[in-house]
Amino acid sequence: MATGIPKRKKQHKKKENYNLTYPNKISEENIFSGEKDRHILIKQWGTSSLTEVINSLYWGDNLATLRSLLEDKSIKGKIRLVYIDPPFATQSIFHSRQLKHAYDDILTDTEYIEFLRQRLIIIRELMATDGSIYIHLDEKMVFEMKIILDEIFGKTNFQNCITRKKCNPKNYTRKRFGNISDYILFYTKSSKFIWNKQFEPLTEDRAKEYQYVEEKTGRRFMKVPIHAPGIRNGETGKPWRNMLPPPGKHWQYTPSKLDELDKRGEIYWSSNGNPRRKVYLDENPGIGVQDIWLDFKDAHNQNIKITGYPTEKNPNLIKRIVEASSNPGDLVLDCFSGSGTTLAVADNLERSWIGIDSSIEAIKTTLLRFKNGTKAMGDFVSHSSKKKESNSKQLSFNLSKGSIQEKQYDYRSITNFRLMASRNIEKQSLNEISVFLNDY
Ligand SMILES: C[S@@+](CC[C@H](N)C(=O)[O-])C[C@H]1O[C@@H](n2cnc3c(N)ncnc32)[C@H](O)[C@@H]1O
């Protein structure tokens, strides 16, 4: 049957594990015993106390770098949140808006799976027991990686497959439906994890339900019954103000609590003396966020400021993830950090962070973002400040007129971090960075 509420049937059968098998899949033991990187400090900005983790941007291959982080007691088992946006197996070579080579995305099939699997196994060890990981992929590899992630983190620690609308509808000429989505797989290390429920502002239709306005305060409210189905013999079944609950019902609150509500003016009395509770619009946090995210299209596909790095993600998307799965002071890792979106958002939300990227263009872009923020580029259209102001007023009233994507993400510059380079970085590239840093 396609509709109705399905009844769960308990199965006492032993669960069978299944794996993805392919020729070059190496053992976990071999993954951990592989080469570790050693890093040199290129430059440190600001100061950090000895006890706190220093925000670090590592330049080098993430596999050997992640292995080396396993040896650091202040990091191993301490990472509360990981967001990664690895190559998607597109078989493309990516350049920045300034036409500088950024990175190659050429691995496919089992080579790709094994590339990511090895890194994910080490990441699991770096994560705190109550940590979370979000893996951003598209339809090319998400299904294979779901099986691999179940192997690594356990099927029961799979929390969501979030569908993100990545761009506006395209005028597709191919004989298939337009592709405008990608996916974020959300896993946790255990069943106990940090979770800060996220809300979307109420839609205007929902807000219209709050149709009454309190004279004294101007607050909008709706009226709801103060009784609920079922007979109770305790306090909530007793008379209140000489009234019994309607037949077959009970009061939702004890008579003393109802007195309190009434004293605060939160009971609405109809002309024929029927009490109802006022539920205020400004106390409604909104609707809990679901697993389809429409508001965070790629930075290149909307009018928000960008760094110009290819495949740069929307900072508001990362903000939602960081806020949902970490708290201020927590350590956040992005080991495919690209233009540094995760690092900048984490820093702005007062988390510590570790970023890793092997591309010199990514490192330069991240450093520029930390200093100057993002820029209006290409077809950027500025929204008038007046419109933004009225928008934010609306949002504070929990009415969403403009969509979240239109809100600019404002960065403050990042001043407390260090840049570390892998020992394997070629001399020529090290020279290039030092010239870049001379002008920085
Ligand atoms: C899709 S981009 C990430 C974009 C990023 N989320 C942003 O908002 O800018 C993937 C990044 O992974 C990096 N990368 C690919 N393979 C890597 C590896 N083995 N080690 C470190 N970084 C790697 C690339 O250089 C590229 O910057």
Q: Which domain holds residue 260?
A: 211-280
What's the mean pLDDT when you consider all of the chain?
A: 89
Runs of H (alpha helix) within 286-402: 315-325, 341-348, 360-372, 385-396
Residue 259 — very low, low, confident or very high, per pLDDT cuts 50/70/90? Answer: very high
pLDDT of residue 150: 97
Q: Is the pLDDT of residue 424 over 90?
A: yes
Top-confidence residue, 175 or 119: 119
C-alpha dihedral sign at 347, 349, 355, 357: negative
| Whether residue 55 is found in the same domain as residue 147 | yes
Q: Cβ-count burial of 13 within 10 angstroms (0-12 exposed, 13-18 middle, 19+ buried)?
A: exposed
Q: Are residues 182 and 263 in the same domain?
A: no
Please tell me whether residues 325 and 235 are part of one structural domain: no
Any domain includes 174: yes
pLDDT at 374: 80
Same domain, 274 and 291: no
DSSP state of 264: T
Q: What is the pLDDT of residue 6?
A: 67
In a domain, 13, yes or no: no
Mean pLDDT of 282-286: 93
The pLDDT-based confidence of 373 (bands split at 50, 70, 90) is confident
392 token code pair: 């934010």
| Residue that finishes a domain, picked among 280, 305, 328 | 280
- Residue 121: pLDDT band with limits 50, 70, 90: very high
Say what the pLDDT of residue 384 is: 44
- Mean pLDDT (whole number) for 420-438: 97
Structural domain total, the chain: 2
Does residue 53 lie in a domain region?
A: yes
* 248 and 321 part of one domain: no
**Confidence check: pLDDT of 152 > 80:** yes
pLDDT at 378 over 60: no
Residue where the block lists tokens 């495949």 = 311
As a whole-number percent, the residues of the chain with pLDDT over 70 amount to: 87
Last residue of a domain, one of 228, 259, 280: 280
CATH code, domain carrying 99: 3.40.50.150
Cα(65)–Cα(376) distance, integer angstroms = 34
226 in the same domain as 101:
no
pLDDT in the model for residue 383: 45
Considering the domain architecture, whether residues 134 and 64 belong to the same structural domain is answered as: yes
Mutation choice for ligand 1 from 82, 306, 358, 425, CB with most ligand atoms inside 8 A: 358
Average pLDDT over residues 23-31: 96
Ligand 1 in reach of 357 Cβ (< 6 A): yes
Quick check: is 11 in a domain?
A: no
Does residue 1 register a pLDDT over 60?
no
Per residue in 289-301, pLDDT (tens digit) is 999 999 999 876 6
The distance in angstroms from the start CA to the end CA of the chain is 64
Residues 227 and 345 in one domain: no
Pairing of strands 56-59, 275-280: unpaired
Compute the distance between CA of residue 163 and CA of residue 182 in angstroms, rounded to an integer.
Answer: 6
250 lies in the same domain as 309: no
Q: Could you tell me the distance, in angstroms and rounded to a whole number, from the CA of residue 87 to the centre of ligand 1? A: 6
150 lies in some domain:
yes
Interval between CA 116 and ligand 1 midpoint (Å): 12
Instruction: Say yes or no: 179 and 46 in one domain.
Output: yes
Residue 202 lies in a domain: no
Ligand 1 pocket test target in 101, 119, 140, 336 with most atoms within 8 Å of CB = 336
Cβ–Cβ < 8 Å for 95, 310: yes
Query: How many angstroms separate the CA atoms of 353 and 322, rounded?
Result: 11
* Range name among 60-64, 95-99, 271-275, 409-413 with the lowest pLDDT average: 409-413
Q: How far apart are CA 346 and CA 364, in angstroms?
A: 19
**Does 1 map to a domain?**
no
Half-sphere exposure of 143 (CA within 13 A, CB side): 3
Residue 32 host element (H or E): helix 28-32
Pick the last residue of a domain from 250, 280, 310: 280
Predicted local confidence at residue 372, as pLDDT = 87
Confirm whether 291 is domain-assigned: yes
Pair 137, 218 in one domain: no
336 lines ligand 1 (CB under 6 A): yes
What's the rounded mean pLDDT across residues 255-269? 96
**pLDDT bracket for residue 393 (50, 70, 90):** very low
* Locus of tokens 């597709």: 172
Question: Is the distance from the beta carbon of residue 296 to the nearest atom of ligand 1 less than 6 Å?
Answer: no
pLDDT at 185: 98
Rounded Cα gap, residues 143 and 139, in angstroms: 7
Kindly tell me if the per-residue pLDDT of 395 is higher than 60. Answer: no
Each residue's pLDDT tens digit, 153-210:
999 999 999 999 999 888 878 899 999 999 999 999 999 999 999 999 898 888 999 9
Same domain as 233, residue 95: no
